[in-house]
Structure 1
Amino acid sequence: MFKRKRWIILLLAVPLLAWIAFINFPGRQHPYSPSIDEASDDVSANQTEQADEPGTIDQVLKEPASTLPFNISLVYSPSYLINVGGLERMHPFDIKKYQRICDALVKDGVCEHKDFLSPEPLTNDDLLLVHTPKYLQSLASRTKVAGYLEAPILMLAPVSLDTAILQPFRHASGGTLLASRAAIRSGIGINLGGGYHHAKPHTGEGFCLFADVPIAIRRLQAEKLIQRAVVVDVDVHQGNGTILCLPDDDTTFTFSMHQRGIYPLPKEKGDLDIELPSGMNDDEYLRELSAQLPAVLDQSQADICFVVGGCDTLDGDPLASLRMTHQGIVRRDQMIIDECIKRNIAVVFTLSGGYSKDAWKAQYESVKNLINRQTLAAP
């Protein structure tokens, strides 16, 4: 009987090991690998080529700035969903957060499915505006992707990571670009996803693969749609990747308000970093934000504001120790919108992190409040 069990285990193990070897074989490339020299690690040429398109930023900005209507454009697609055969449930991030928010908004009559804009995935040309060719080629490695997402179990997932993970990330990142384009017209774009602020030019990190906000900024600048951008990062973790993606750049301003003493360590140096003590409640948090935000927006002289609106500042989040409530998140996001409206700055919201079980509800309440306060733009 014992020998029979050993043979059964062996027969089951051999196909699994063969599958793992097959999907990790170096020659298996995916459609996201750019067709460029593997040794090349320079993205500046691509950026320069994009910047040399007809027309200039100055010509566009000579047009009198009209007052934005500040209606809300919503962006979401079921293509954001990650599905690796159930293994995604072992990750601390609620993979279905974005879908839950969308479904609740429709169920409660706040909006309809037809109100959502559906984005296209980012192209390789988009990704190369910020990321290096070498990094994008590393995404062909299952081991590398598992490391970037801090999910070793993905090495055993019997699915194509292209379809199950990379494409959803590209769609959600494309959602940030679409929301920014919409915000230029309507005033406010909300992507029910995105905010991958730990992704760096040379590597992924902290559950983040693509630096969607810096990519959107570079694309809008290349197309002469904006000149200057400000990033307001209110996720509980510093947006270290965003800072590294926008280095020594006087056309961007990075502001991060995050908890001290937690990941990432060490912190990067952005244009303005405010470190918060453990245990900060709603009133304390909002008092600090109201003291900093107006000056940030004034100093940046931005045409557009990107908000990385993580709700891992909530009380009970397993990866942090601030004590904000759902109502505090609602007030925080409304404060940012109000300050941008005062200055006629287009604003883009991304949802970023949040790891408590009811994190999605806080962001649902915030988006619902914003829609009720403003008006939905026509899709």
Structure 2
Amino acid sequence: MKKWLQAIVFLMWSCLVLSCTSQQLVADPDALDRIPVVYDKGYRIGAFGLEKLHPFDIGKYQKIHRGLKKAGVLNEENEHRPEPLARETLLLVHSQDYLETLKSPAWVAVYLEAPAVRLLPKRMLKRSLIDPFILASGGTLKASRLALDHGAAINLGGGYHHAKPESGEGFCVIADVPIAIRKLQKEGEIKRALVVDTDIHQGNGTIVCLEDDPSTFTFSMHESGIYPVPKETGDRDVSVPAGVTDDAYMRSLKHWLPKVIAKSKPDIVFYVSGCDALAGDPLANGTMTHEGIARRDAYVLAECRKRKIPFVMTLAGGYSKDAWQAQYKSIVGLMKKEDVTSP
């Protein structure tokens, strides 16, 4: 074969190989949904072991982050770092007097329901407890900005839905979701916001922060008869029974969520995705499974995407030993576009 003919054959073969390789490279990213994820190791609370006296797993965020990295769904392409909320941003929801109480170990011990916190020096209180809450709350704001740009984003923290303008409670001291809403509204990025709260404890603080405001809508699905008692009155409160199962929960969620979205007409949805409805949670009575939590989260995201509404996920509560695993599996499912929404 003449050299020029050999060259043409080689060139055609090379083009074919490159084309196939290119298709392969394009296909790999399509197997994953590169949802932006916000996290910082500064989310972790630490106070000489005193934090272990509270039932919340302080290491939950770190465990989920490590698992996502290991699973290959999180890398430098979609991982983002937050900035702590500035004081003027905190003041969009919280009062000056309340922020001053966060310098007092005695007051913070009450808010966190952890009496041992009273023993902390003020300097350690700020560095080890308050600063992580403010940083993780900054993560919710960062995630909301990313959601506006990318359609969805996840903060591996936040969802402090018991914090109120003038007080903290239930291991919540910063009202991260209401603050993010007010900040985006102030900047003209959004007009209306919907908060979908599936933590098994009512988001009473979020309701108080946003009450009597027609530009926001609070939807909470929670177990009646457990903390907080009495409940606040949100825009749509749905009680689930003690012992709620995956299927029962999904039937209720599928009934109410489309109605709530249609009524609220939001520019953005903040999803407070606590997993304390899991079987074995010491602070609730649900019987949901890891698969049920994944189905729940995937359904909320799918309903938002169907309507092209930006979706912001925060992690909120969950007190069983396997809570982090349930949320880790759920996020992996969201990233891998697994269809877990059907009954």
Question: Hey, what does 2:308 align to over in structure 1?
Answer: 344
Task: State the TM-score, normalizing by the size of structure 1.
Answer: 0.79
**Among 27, 46, 56, which residue is 1:93 paired with?**
56
| Per-residue deviation, 1:108 | 2.1
Q: What is the one-letter code of the residue matched to 2:248?
A: E
1:304 pairs with 2:276: no
CA distance in 1, matches of 2:177, 2:110: 22
**Among 65, 68, 87, which residue is 1:105 paired with?**
68
Q: Secondary structure at the match of 1:95?
A: coil
**Among 175, 183, 190, which residue is 1:226 paired with?**
190
CA distance in 2, matches of 1:128, 1:309: 25
CA distance in 2, matches of 1:114, 1:145: 37
Question: Hey, what does 2:284 align to over in structure 1?
Answer: 320
Question: Hey, what does 1:190 align to over in structure 2?
Answer: 154
Q: Secondary structure at the match of 1:72?
A: coil
1:164 pairs with 2:128: yes
Q: What is the one-letter code of the residue matched to 1:305?
A: V
Gaps of 5+ in 2: 1-32, 339-343
CA distance in 2, matches of 1:71, 1:342: 18
Q: How does 1:345-360 map to 2 (within 5 A)?
A: 345-360=309-324
Larger Rg: 2
Q: What is the one-letter code of the residue matched to 2:80?
A: L
**Among 166, 171, 175, which residue is 1:207 paired with?**
171
| Per-residue deviation, 1:240 | 0.3
CA distance in 1, matches of 2:290, 2:330: 8
| Per-residue deviation, 1:115 | 3.1
**Among 91, 95, 107, which residue is 1:128 paired with?**
91
Pair 111,71 (structure 1): closer, same or farther in 2 beyond 3 Å: closer
Pair 207,228 (structure 1): closer, same or farther in 2 beyond 3 Å: same
Residues 68-93 of structure 1: per-residue CA shift (max 9 Å, x gap):
xx851110000101110111111100
Q: CA RMSD in A?
A: 1.2
**Is the CA contact (8 Å cut-off) linking 1:87 and 1:157 kept in structure 2?**
no
| Per-residue deviation, 1:157 | 3.2
Q: Decide which moves more: 110-119 or 329-338.
A: 110-119
**Among 250, 260, 264, which residue is 1:286 paired with?**
250
**What stretches of structure 1 move > 6 A for 4+ residues in a row?**
none
Gaps of 5+ in 1: 1-69, 375-379
| Per-residue deviation, 1:113 | 5.1
Sequence identity percentage: 57
**Is the CA contact (8 Å cut-off) linking 1:230 and 1:306 kept in structure 2?**
yes
Count of residue pairs brought into register by the alignment: 305
1:150 pairs with 2:77: no
Q: Secondary structure at the match of 1:275?
A: strand
CA distance in 2, matches of 1:89, 1:310: 20
**Is the CA contact (8 Å cut-off) linking 2:105 and 2:120 kept in structure 1?**
no
Q: Secondary structure at the match of 2:35?
A: strand
1:138 pairs with 2:101: yes
CA distance in 1, matches of 2:34, 2:221: 27
Q: Decide which moves more: 190-199 or 155-164.
A: 155-164
Q: What is the one-letter code of the residue matched to 1:157?
A: L
Q: Secondary structure at the match of 2:36?
A: strand
**Is the CA contact (8 Å cut-off) linking 2:195 and 2:218 kept in structure 1?**
yes
